[in-house]
Structure 1
Amino acid sequence: MKVGLFGLPSSGKTTVFSALSDGKANINEGHNAPNLYVAKVPDPRLDELTKMYNPKKTVYATIEYTDFPGLQEKSANSYWGNLRSVDVLVHVVRAFESDMVHHVNESVDHKRDIEKIDSDLIIADLAIIETNLDRLERNLKAGKKNELLFTKDVLIKCRENLENEIPIRALDLTTEELDAIQVYQFLTQKPFVTALNLGDDQNFSDFYPDLKYLETERKSLIFGLQGKIEMEIAQLEPEEREIFLEDLGIEELALGRFVRSCFQLLGLISFFTVGEDEVRAWPIRKDTPASRAAGAIHSDLERGFIRAEVFHYEDVVSLGTSKLKEEGKIRLEGKDYVVIDGDILNIRFNVSSAKKKK
């Protein structure tokens, strides 16, 4: 999962990036190159399974962060092009006041900045649509029809809504319509988070009522964090970190909350594999059948899939490993079984069948 953080200069974007990367990312001194970090996805269930199975290694799911440089108007076109490569867009918006950090627009106004960036994203997508509608028209005149006509209709539908300030992600598009425009990587179609970077004395609950329309009308997620405090705590040793969290009344660092939000936006869940050698989390799309889930582990397991031995995290924690079979909690499921969040799978497969189908 690739997550891109972007925003105006002085929004505290890199501070937020450092907080979300658990304070471990190397930050570039310059402002022209993006910061990159691959973070483990925190999952208390995986920690508990590790205690139970005592494996040689534990493998967490990962999330890749890219902290893009602050947006400059003179390079906006290439900037939007770079953002198209990520799975989730995170617009970091400044809400904190500071005499030490100059705001690029002379004053702090989070709603103004949100509307400006949202408008810019719409304009960037409209430019892509106009370019491709012209190309489609030329191909249609050359006698190439069928799917091109369908794609043209979908692009016109998207254009009409964008002109009314409705992002593509807010449209109720069919699977066929989504497939037709997938190649364009529209920015307003991507899962979107508006991350409000708060000051030490600010509460997200005070801002949420005025920003709720972003969730209801624009189908984006609103996320609030005190970036500076979160970054400082993330850089502490675990023992000190717990003390500070308790003193500040913070139940959980932003990293855990943020990752769960991204999983939700992308429709992801996690299943696990367990054993003496390895305990591991595997992210997959919600409603994935068992055979395709097996393919997330290795393509051979999907090709030679026979059955999946399935039990659930909650059952193994409450009963222990020895009583699962006795209590009838271990099941054999076929290829069409839909894996649910927290399932633990042991895949049975035919080695010869897997090899034949290569």
Structure 2
Amino acid sequence: MLRAGIVGLPNVGKSTLFNALVANAKAEAANFPFCTIEPNVGVVSVPDERLNVLADISTSKQVVPARVEFVDIAGLVKGASQGEGLGNQFLSNIREVDAIVHVVRCFENDDIIHVAGSVDPARDIETINLELVLADLGQVEKRIERTRKQARANKEAQAELAILQKLAAALNEGKSVRQIDLTEEEFEVIKHLGMLTAKPIIYAANVSEDDLATGNEFVEKVRGVAAKENAQVVVISAQVEAELIELPEADRADFLESLGVEEGGLKSLIRATYTLLGLRTYFTSGEKETRAWTIKAGMSAPQAAGVIHTDFERGFIRAETVGYDDLVNSGSLGSAKEKGLVRSEGKEYIVKEGDVMLFRFNV
């Protein structure tokens, strides 16, 4: 299961958001820096209305959604790359996740202290991004020293050294690795370094209840920063999400409607994180269950089968496949077959988003 790390300055709403994400998680949320020391981990279901539609068609007894793991990481402060606060621990925790959800405070509240004394999303984002850049730069510089010695007699080391020097130049300018124009081959060479600023990022603009529907000037500042990185911004209210999980399911829609929104930002954040990680969904559906399976974009049919069980990949024969829309429009699998919409796909088939699949394999 792929992991997304929730990061941000202290007191921006990370743990409150995490609690809402995992609903029954018990991450401590309190009004002092470094409230979260050890990272909290929770598994979150990915909202997908297609599951219930397929379950109705197959009269399934249960529905099993796709899942993403979220990690609530300790708040970072200026100087973290030099070990300030919980810097070293914070950075090592980020290194272990696949993507970053950067929570940015976009609300005023005199009762909740800000480590810098005022709310300024652009400054706060720069603080964290700079620490991540400095951490990466330190790592690259150490690698350059080791590689330079090897490069005297090794062509592979020479190639790596050229890439490392390219990284160092950009990082010294304050750029993140994801902003550097690297070829796939170049990225593969430095992939083992686990660069922090190479990880894909979503900015979660945390607003007050009153600004959830419309946003505010702080949110626009976040969007301005994100646009330079081609990053996505999701407007959320950790306060609203915390209130929602305390309400009965039947009352949640009315509460959101009273705020002028159809759904909280939480579902959008989960979906956006799932997409950011380069994930795709295919389905299996029958009387026993309808289940969403998570794969990486570009996976072949045997690889997708292997997500269910390694035996499925080893003994793969073919995949009986129908697109989600084709199945729903047909009303049943039998009808889809009559219309010639169910295909027999072999080992070279690349699974598409929303495919409904039945695998044939040798044991």
Describe the shift of the 1:267–1:205 C-alpha distance in structure 2 as closer, same or farther (beyond 3 A). farther
Q: How does 1:78-157 map to 2 (within 5 A)?
A: 78-140=89-151, 143=153, 145-157=154-166
Which of 317, 322, 326 is the equivalent residue of 1:315?
Answer: 326
Using the TM superposition, give the Cα deviation of residue 347 of structure 1 relative to its aligned residue in structure 2, in angstroms.
1.0
Asked if structure 1 preserves the Cα contact closer than 8 Å seen for 2:282 and 2:293, the reply is yes
Q: How does 1:285-324 map to 2 (within 5 A)?
A: 285-321=296-332, 322-324=334-336
Which of 203, 220, 240 is the equivalent residue of 1:194?
Answer: 203
Give yes or no for the alignment of 1:260 onto 2:265: no
The number of aligned residues is 348
- SS of 1:201's equivalent in the other structure is helix
Partner of 2:362: 350
- SS of 1:74's equivalent in the other structure is coil
Asked if structure 2 preserves the Cα contact closer than 8 Å seen for 1:169 and 1:219, the reply is no
2:156 aligned partner, one-letter code: E
C-alpha deviations, 1:121-147, integer Å up to 9, x for none? 111110110111112123345x4x132
Asked if structure 2 preserves the Cα contact closer than 8 Å seen for 1:204 and 1:225, the reply is no
- Alpha-carbon distance in 2 for matches of 1:288, 1:247: 43
Partner of 1:335: 347
- Alpha-carbon distance in 2 for matches of 1:158, 1:200: 41
Unpaired stretches in structure 1, ≥5 consecutive residues: 352-358
Bigger shift: residues 176-185 or 298-307 = 298-307
RMSD between aligned alpha carbons? 1.9
C-alpha deviations, 1:175-200, integer Å up to 9, x for none? 22111111111111001112111112
Partner of 2:64: 59
Bigger shift: residues 81-90 or 216-225 = 216-225
Unpaired stretches in structure 2, ≥5 consecutive residues: 30-34, 78-83
Using the TM superposition, give the Cα deviation of residue 19 of structure 1 relative to its aligned residue in structure 2, in angstroms.
2.4
- Counting aligned pairs with the same residue, the percent is 39
Partner of 1:354: none
- Alpha-carbon distance in 1 for matches of 2:340, 2:159: 51
- Alpha-carbon distance in 2 for matches of 1:261, 1:243: 24
Using the TM superposition, give the Cα deviation of residue 253 of structure 1 relative to its aligned residue in structure 2, in angstroms.
2.5
Partner of 2:32: none
Bigger shift: residues 84-93 or 314-323 = 314-323
- Alpha-carbon distance in 2 for matches of 1:204, 1:160: 37
Partner of 1:36: 41
- SS of 1:11's equivalent in the other structure is coil
2:299 aligned partner, one-letter code: T
Which of 46, 52, 74 is the equivalent residue of 1:69?
Answer: 74
- Alpha-carbon distance in 2 for matches of 1:126, 1:213: 25
Partner of 1:355: none
Q: How does 1:150-165 map to 2 (within 5 A)?
A: 150-165=159-174
Bigger shift: residues 12-21 or 87-96 = 12-21
TM value normalised by structure 1: 0.91
2:132 aligned partner, one-letter code: L
